[in-house]
Amino acid sequence: MRFYFDFLSHNEEIRDYEGVELSDWLTAYGHAVQIVKLTAPYLPEGSDWRGLRIQVRDECRRHVLNVLFPAALRYAALLTQPSLQTNYLPVKFGKRSGPGCPMSSGA
């Protein structure tokens, strides 16, 4: 599957007309994050990065997702970490639990 990675800012668009062949949108997301990591060190220090993003499009040129640049250079250090870890815990949708929830009584 071919994905395209456009660089967008408030006043500029740099379109990707070549694209990259990748297995799925999750791999495309990882590729876009790598583009941000590789580009961030070249952006002027002290500039406002809000609005800078990589827009990912699929082979039909439909918008799939955006990967945002960090808001400021002080957050760019996060981009140098080999992998970003989160405290993500899977959530089961459709069931509720916890105090005050009518479905928490074994439903």
* Total structural domains within the chain: 1
Can you say whether the dihedral through the CA atoms of 85, 87, 92, 94 is positive or negative?
negative
Taking the whole predicted model, whether its pTM rises above 0.85 is answered as no
20 Cβ contact partners less than 8 Å away, ≥ 6 residues apart: 2, 3, 4, 5, 28, 31
Confidence tier at 48 by pLDDT (50, 70, 90)? low
Residue 102 lies in a domain: no
Q: Which domain holds residue 11?
A: 2-81
Confidence bin at 51 (pLDDT 50/70/90): confident
Q: Is the residue at 53 inside a domain?
A: yes
For 37, phi then psi, to 5°, come to -60, -40
Strand partners, 75: none
Tell how far CA 39 is from the center of its chain.
14
| Residue of higher predicted confidence among 89 and 9 | 9
Phi then psi dihedrals of residue 30, to 5 deg: -60, -40
